[in-house]
Amino acid sequence: MNNQPIGIFDSGLGGLTVLKEIQRLLPGESIVYYADQAFCPYGNKKPEEIKNRSRKIVEQLINKHQCKLIVVACNTATAYSIQHLRASFQLPFVGMEPAIKPAALQTNSGIIGVLATEGTLKSEKYNNTASTFASERQVVIQEGRGLVELVENNCFQGKKASELLEKYLRPMLNQGADHIVLGCTHYPFYKKQIEKIVGKNVLVIDPAPAVARRTKQLLEEKKMLCAKKNPVIHFLSSEQPDAAIRQKALELLNAI
């Protein structure tokens, strides 16, 4: 048994969608969650800047909080930094990846939609995944401009969000997409709204459950599982005091 916490980081609070799945699957694990809100969003940042930010955050999670495994709960950070992180630090990392493979395997129409950030859609990792698993499928991509910021400001259930989602999803549906892949950890906050727009015949895929399963698998393989009766969840931010970020994080967790 290993009592050290799991570390999770994201550009902001989108990674809470991953944290919730990890909590559900591993209820005895303590977690340290870092929201890099001072640099949010990552989607429009340069790759080298994202890599440097990711390294600094991981150093803090390891050196100050003794995390035993790090979840990079951001598609853009995963795309540009996870190889560097794995080469630099001697502990397990779990990253995000748009769930193109299951969508490509399950689609009946042969058309899938991917809603993601600019950084993710431009990344080599995304394009390699798409070419490997969906080369015989039509992939309709859409950058979700403004969606991250609405979550960060707890405005993701308002009129502005509905208008943006309708604008981004309608072209995918018009082209016949029967699967919508959520390529940013902020986007599952909109899942109910998305499902209402796309209807019952379109499957919306959130990668967070798969990330939680991979986290559990790695901890089992390395014999690092913990089963505390009262695990601690510690919230950190590069912008807000601990008390403020904790309150905001808990509010958003309850809204998922």
Tell me the pLDDT of the chain (256 aa) as tens digits.
688 999 999 999 999 999 999 999 999 999 999 999 999 999 889 999 999 999 999 999 999 999 999 999 999 999 999 999 999 999 999 999 889 999 999 999 999 999 999 999 999 999 999 999 999 999 999 999 999 999 999 999 989 999 999 999 999 999 999 999 999 999 999 999 999 999 999 999 999 999 999 999 999 999 999 877 889 999 999 999 999 999 999 999 998 8
Given a contact cutoff of 8 angstroms between Cβ atoms, the answer to whether 15 and 205 are in contact is no
Active site residue 74: yes
- For 62, 155, 156, 165, 251, the CA distances from 147, given in Å and listed in that order, are 31, 9, 8, 8, 18
Active site residue 40: no
**Domain 6-96+208-255 class?**
alpha beta
pLDDT in tens, 94-142: 999 889 999 999 999 999 999 999 999 999 999 999 999 999 999 999 9
CB within 8 Å of 209: residues ≥ 6 apart: 21
Rg for the chain (alpha carbons), in Å? 18
At CA 77, angle to CA 47 and CA 124, rounded to 5? 60
Residue with tokens 């990079």: 72
The ranges of the chain annotated as CATH 3.40.50.1860 are: 6-96+208-255, 100-205
Residue with tokens 């994201």: 10
- For 79, 99, 124, 199, 224, the CA distances from 94, given in Å and listed in that order, are 12, 15, 18, 32, 15
CB within 8 Å of 87: residues ≥ 6 apart: none
Q: What are the structure tokens assigned to 72, written together?
A: 């990079």
Provide the pLDDT for residue 1. 64
Fold of 100-205: Rossmann fold (3.40.50)
- Return the DSSP state at 230: S
Task: Report how far residue 212's alpha carbon sits from residue 226's, in angstroms, rounded to the nearest whole number.
Answer: 15
How many other CB atoms are found less than 10 A from the CB of residue 48? Answer: 10
Task: Report how far residue 120's alpha carbon sits from residue 117's, in angstroms, rounded to the nearest whole number.
Answer: 5
Q: Which of 40, 67, 184, 226 is catalytic?
A: 184
Among 224, 8, 153, CA closest to 95: 8
pTM (global) more than 0.85: yes
